């Protein structure tokens, strides 16, 4: 009966996993094969994105008061654009975008592309959506997802987003897995 059951750690325990990578965060980092996380400087640098062969951009800070790029900004490239109008506040419900964003990332990768997920700073909104993708489509626990991303970039989902990721983790890992 001594089998290990995964349990979602507390937010404070998860916080300790975030800052593994020494040094500062660059404008963008490849956090998983063909998945990049970065900030608005990288998002507006089409030359950089072309050089990296980025085919898809997921803007987690879409909108007039955020990073106002949009599909028109990339129209002279072959980049597919998806905008999520999320605000980096603990009270904002970003979980409403978990599945649609995860699907966009999965479609980018399954078409052989490279996806750049960004927000303003590349710390909270973008990393939250990438973590959700890893949990939904790569069957990672929240702990595994955080560790795999934090090895390559310092990330910092805000406390509300972390709580929403914890809820997703519980849904994904407590649902009738009869192991």
Give the C-alpha separation, 23 to 153, whole Å.
Answer: 9
Give the C-alpha separation, 142 to 69, whole Å.
Answer: 30
Q: Tokens 């909108």 sit at which residue?
A: 63
What's the full length of the chain, in residues?
Answer: 179
Q: Which of 47, 82, 52 lies closest to 67, judged by CA?
A: 82
Query: What stretches of the chain adopt beta strand conformation (E)?
Result: 28-32, 35-38, 56-59, 80-83, 115-118
Give the C-alpha separation, 65 to 76, whole Å.
Answer: 23
Catalytic-role residue among 41, 82, 119, 156: 119
Give the C-alpha separation, 170 to 129, whole Å.
Answer: 17
82 catalytic per annotation: no
DSSP state of 30: E
Catalytically active residues are 119
């Amino acid at each position: 009966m001594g089998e290990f059951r995964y349990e979602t750690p507390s937010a404070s325990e998860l916080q300790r996993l975030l800052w593994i990578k020494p040094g500062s965060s660059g404008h963008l980092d490849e956090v998983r094969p063909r998945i990049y996380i970065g900030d608005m400087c990288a998002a507006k640098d089409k030359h950089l994105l072309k050089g990296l062969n980025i085919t898809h951009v997921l803007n987690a800070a879409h909108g007039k008061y955020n990073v106002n790029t949009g599909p028109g900004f990339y129209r002279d490239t072959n980049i597919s654009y998806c905008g999520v109008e999320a605000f980096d506040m603990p009270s904002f419900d970003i979980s409403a975008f978990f599945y649609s964003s995860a699907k966009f990332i999965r479609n980018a990768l399954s078409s052989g592309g490279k996806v750049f997920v960004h927000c303003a700073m590349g710390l909270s909104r973008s990393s939250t959506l990438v973590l959700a993708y890893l949990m939904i489509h790569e069957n990672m626990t929240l702990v595994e997802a955080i560790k795999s991303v934090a090895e390559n970039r310092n990330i910092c989902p805000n406390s509300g987003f972390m709580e929403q990721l914890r809820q997703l983790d519980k849904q994904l890992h407590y649902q009738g897995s009869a192991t």
